[in-house]
A = this chain, B = another copy of it.
Amino acid sequence: MSKIKAGILGATGAVGQRFIQLLENHPWFEITALAASDRSSGGKYTDACNWRLATPLPERVRALEVQPCRPPLDCDFVFSGLPSSVAGELEEEFAQAGYPVISNSMNHRMDEDVPLLVPEINHDHIGLIDIQRKRRGYTTGYIVTNPNCSAIALALGLAPLHNQFGLEAVVVTTMQALSGAGYPGVPSLDIIDNVIPFIKDEEPKLEEEPLKIFGKLTDDKIVFADFLVSAQCHRVNVQDGHLEAVRIRLKKKADEAELIAALENYSSLPQEMRLPSAPARPVIVRREKDRPQPRYDRDAENGMATVVGRISRDTIFDYKLVLLGHNTIRGAAGAAILNAELLVARGLLGKLNSNS
């Protein structure tokens, strides 16, 4: 009956709100602690938070007190949706104090001893946790991260192709949603009747993170994948859902039918283990000539899948295609929750009663 107790760091922010929304009625986790910056802490969550999601603020969370972002908190582990300006140190502090930290922040993603986890792709990277603990002197605590919102949609959509045919080069041009910038984020006057061809720090992340995600765990570190990624990133006037135009060159040649089969048949450990938040189909292929589209496809598999469409031969690369992921679900809070579920299933997080 008893669930694992989760704390949320950065609980009042955009990602924090998504954590709260997605954890309502979660079968394994219950929220027992909310923490935010000192400015927001000290009162009830309902007063501290400018709730921006369309579903109502869950009843159980309304009256929880918002605490400062410092250990101890009454919980078995923490999700972190902290802004990068403070996430680096605070997450270390919690790990040091014994809390597993399941982070959506960018700060530790590229640390050599921190997994950049996508359970379908690199679940074995959790082997880094031991190395991390030894190196940093953590006891029960550790830090696990999920990739940037654009990188995760890209990696998940290309994983079946990399597995079977080997990626050699990836050219990705993104059209990213407003919610990726948090709240208040992009001023409306900047985006009405407009596109902004710049998102701070985004292109480097998208060029580097996939190489770690698809890296191989050796004795004590990840050996990065050796393909190349070129990224150009744009902000468009869309609420949720990052669209990515992609060209790929493959190591092994494949015809279009083989490509589609690889994508459609893709299934991995989270699906086998039936982790609660795992999408039944992590990659969905749409055959219509004009899909995926953010408004119609972002909620596929509750926002946990990458939707791929417009697969065709390219004049310069092998193939071109368009893919889409929900940036604040699979691209942020949902990704972290799935990571936590994997860690529970692997015995690295909390303890579930047999009957739960």
Contact = CB atoms under 8 A, between A and B. Distances in A.
Given A193-B192, A207-B315, A295-B54, A236 B236 contact: yes
Interface string A213-233: 000000000000000111010
B237 A198 contact: no
A316 B173 contact: no
Central interface residue in A191, A196, A309, A316, by most chain B CB within 10 Å = A316
A237 B236 contact: yes
A164 interface: no
Given A54-B299, A169-B316, A184-B189, A234 B245 contact: yes
Contacts of A194: 238, 293-296
Contacts of A292: 197
Given A195-B236, A294-B194, A187 B189 contact: no
Contacts of A320: 230, 232
Interface in A233-264: 234, 236-239, 243, 245, 247
B54 A296 contact: yes
Contact of A193 (B187, B238, B316): B238
Nearest to A52: B189
16 contacts: A171-B316, A173-B245, A175-B195, A175-B236, A184-B184, A184-B190, A185-B188, A186-B187, A187-B187, A189-B239, A192-B239, A196-B290, A230-B316, A230-B320, A232-B245, A236-B237
Interface of A: 52, 54, 169, 171, 173, 175, 178-179, 183-198, 207, 228-230, 232, 234, 236-239, 243, 245, 247, 289-296, 299, 309-310, 314-317, 320, 322
